[in-house]
């Protein structure tokens, strides 16, 4: 199921190319919700996550992280279930912005699975699942991510 249309994906491409407030050199950019385009993109993804996972969030106040991988870039096997400040990551959710590159497979382990790289197709997985992004051999890979924390989930009618 494609969640994002070409206009939304083009906006994210434009946003990456026209900003200079990046993290990790050229690889990543995180932005807060500053307008209707970002708000709609983030809200749509979080709403989809709640519907697909059965989880409920305290709020939709999340930053969207845009990752860019150039030729030769990769991210070796790792897990994202780490404590960041006072929060513990529970889920990774996101979607690819483009697919005109080679390599860059998003591989999950136990069980083994490769995430569909069709632009605009959302995905999520538990942050304690081992995964990697293979080396880019041609083109530029762009994706958008949000990390959901345990502290931001509502459980059994109580706020965690």
Average pLDDT over residues 131-160: 86
Does residue 146 sit in helix, strand or coil?
strand
- State the CATH class of domain 6-159: mainly beta
**Percent of the chain whose pLDDT exceeds 90:** 51
Residues near 159 by Cβ (< 8 Å), separated by ≥ 6? 58
pTM of the model: 0.85
Give the C-alpha separation, 30 to 73, whole Å.
Answer: 19
Q: Which residue has the higher pLDDT, 88 or 108?
A: 108
Residues near 22 by Cβ (< 8 Å), separated by ≥ 6? 28, 29
Query: Which pLDDT belongs to residue 34?
Result: 47
Query: Which pLDDT belongs to residue 60?
Result: 85
End-to-end CA distance of the chain: 31
| Whether pLDDT at 28 is above 60 | no
Average pLDDT score, the chain: 84
């Amino acid at each position: 199921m494609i969640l994002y249309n070409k206009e939304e994906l083009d906006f994210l491409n434009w946003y990456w190319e026209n900003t200079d407030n990046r993290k990790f050199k050229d690889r990543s950019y995180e932005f807060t919700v500053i307008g209707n385009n970002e708000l709609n993109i983030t809200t749509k993804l979080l709403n989809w996550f709640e519907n697909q996972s059965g989880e409920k969030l305290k709020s939709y106040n999340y930053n969207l992280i845009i990752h860019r991988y150039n030729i030769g870039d990769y991210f070796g096997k790792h897990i994202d279930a780490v404590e960041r400040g006072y929060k513990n990551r529970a889920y990774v959710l996101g979607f690819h912005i483009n697919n005109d590159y080679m390599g860059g497979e998003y591989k999950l382990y136990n069980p083994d699975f490769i995430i569909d790289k069709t632009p605009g197709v959302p995905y999520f997985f538990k942050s304690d699942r081992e995964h990697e992004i293979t080396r880019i051999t041609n083109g530029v890979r762009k994706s958008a991510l949000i990390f959901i924390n345990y502290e931001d989930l509502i459980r059994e009618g109580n706020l965690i």
